[in-house]
Amino acid sequence: MKVSHWLIPLALATAWPIQSLQAQTQEASTQAPKLVVSIVVDQMRADYLTRFEDLYTGGIQTLMSEGESFINAHYSHAPTYTGPGHATIYTGTDPRFHGIIANDWYDASLKRSVYCVEDDQVAPVGSSSDAHRRSPKNIRSTTWTDELEWATQGKAKVIAFSIKDRGAICAAGHYGDAAYWIDSDAGFVSSSHYMDDLPKWMMRFNRSHDPSSYMTGSWDRLLDVSHYDALAGPDQSDFERVPKGAKSATFPYDLKAMQSAYNGAFKSTPAGNTLLVDAALVAVKAEGLGQDDITDVLAISFSATDYLGHAMGPRSQEVMDMYLRLDLDLKHLFESLDLLVGKGNYLVTFTADHGASDNPMQAKADGFPAELWAPADLEAELRVLMHLALIDNDKVLNLSNDQIYLSSREKDLAVAVRNAILVHPAIAEAWTWEEIRLSPDPYAQLRRNGSDKRSGQVFYALKPGHLAYGPTGTTHGSGYHYDSHVPLIFMGKAFNPQAMHNERAYIRDMAPTLSKVIGIASPSACTGNPLWVSPANK
């Protein structure tokens, strides 16, 4: 990390020397790996592991056969989005403490929506676009990667990659060396929070590995179509959206034509995953990750799975094929790390930031009682209900993230709003902010874990399988099983190969688990529990 960073957020730094000392006095962990490879697959439902299990031959197969699996791992917050999910993975706590309550949330004092990693105080690096003024300043906890930097006096190298800025920034945390994300024109970029200029190796990589250079030939199924018909259903479906730049939502895809029609097309194809692995491996070599006894971190958040998942839904041949190809990209990653870092010298964690729902119209066509609302229609209908309950429209500032922002914290107003919207047929339950603090209802607790002062004054949950979204593809955000249940696998010499745990585990447990294996303090606001017991204490 850069030395100057030690001086920047004083409010955070003043609390740290004590923790740093604690970390120093902890016994040196004999289990500490030379490199932690932290893999997050955006929108990967837990059933993508088991549904395609027989067809995985690469890195996912290795994780499933050589890793320690927690097959009932969940998020304990809602809404379940990319920003909150990644922040929870790295801080070991829920949004109510790390503060990333959504990707975007309404700020009543600014009278506008704010983005979770926006920061107009930093400059873009590698691009001149204001879209890359990004930093972790909104994250209210340290990450385990921050604690690793402190425990090693900044000697640990922490480098994070993603297509999405928030996918990389939550991993690199406040003190990591680098978070890199993608600009469709410029390639990998960063911000002045992390560096003044891109390193030479990254500039070279951007020149030689332009995203469009990955978009040649056609994308067709990896395996025979019969596998896809059996495990995903027919390729032609009314419930899939044509990916941006493509002509139809069916195989094969002309990648070059897609990319020339839309320069971000690569993000929704397997190329978006391959590009990240290629860049990550160049970083391992150029930065010498995993070459000494100080634990380094390589974090990769694969975003193409989310972009494609939103367009296609979980029952599409395209999503299935992307996972079969990600399996091969991960095989390449692990085989390369075996050579560069050494088998047994690196630890891999594998999870997702959230799952995804079935497409409600597809479920409905199968006879399941799901419903779909256009987001604008749902908001309009809820506003009508509030109006009919004589609630002054001026007092309703904003509806977002299944929350309603009101002009005051007045209890009677929140109760009136809650009662008014409860009659809507899409809504399963609604709570005032006071009620979610006290309710024993597990779904209210998910909302509580997902809230802080950045949240609204009334919360609601749609019925299971109900979405406010477009007619094709899918989304996520609820607290239901399909959004909360994600893969959780640890692979490395500290873990038991092939061990499989059925007990419920939480994604907030990942950070304290890694802190314990490495022998450092857990993140500052950590509320999770370690899932790992050191051999000496077994």
Residues engaged in binding Zn ion (CB under 5 A): 306
| Residue 43 Cβ vs Zn ion, minimum distance, rounded to whole Å | 5
Instruction: Compute the distance between CA of residue 295 and CA of residue 156 in angstroms, rounded to an integer.
Output: 6
Cβ nearer to Zn ion, comparing 62 with 162 = 162
In the complex, minimum distance from the CB of residue 103 to Zn ion, in angstroms, rounded to a whole number: 8
- Smallest distance, Zn ion to C-beta of residue 168, A: 16
Closest to 55 measured CA to CA, from 327, 315, 335? 327
Q: Locate tokens 């008014």: which residue?
A: 420
CA 55, distance to chain mean position in Å, is 25
Under DSSP, the state recorded for 357 is: P
DSSP readout, 278-347?
A: HHHHHHHHHHTTT-SSS-EEEEEEE-HHHHHHHHH-TT-HHHHHHHHHHHHHHHHHHHHHIIIIITTSEE
Q: Would residue 82 show up in a list of annotated catalytic residues for this protein?
A: yes
Task: Output the CA torsion sign for 375, 378, 384, 389.
Answer: negative
β-bridge pairing 346-351 and 35-41: parallel
C-alpha 166: how far from its chain's center?
A: 8
318 vs 435, beta carbon nearer Zn ion: 318
Buried b (16+ CB within 10 A) or exposed e, 154-174: bebbbbbbbbbbbbbbbbbbb
**Nearest residue to Zn ion, by Cβ distance, number only:** 306
Kindly tell me which of 147 and 306 has the beta carbon lying closer to Zn ion.
Answer: 306
Closest approach of Zn ion to the CB of residue 95, in Å: 16
Tell me the C-alpha distance between 339 and 10, whole Å: 41
Q: Which is nearer to Zn ion, 306 or 358 (CB)?
A: 306
| 3-state DSSP percent of the chain in helix, strand and coil, to 5 | 40, 15, 40
Tell me which of 62, 80, 82, 269 is the catalytic residue: 82
Minimum Å gap between C-beta 383 and Zn ion is 26
**Looking at beta carbons only, is 298 or 446 nearer to Zn ion?**
446
Query: Active-site positions?
Result: 82
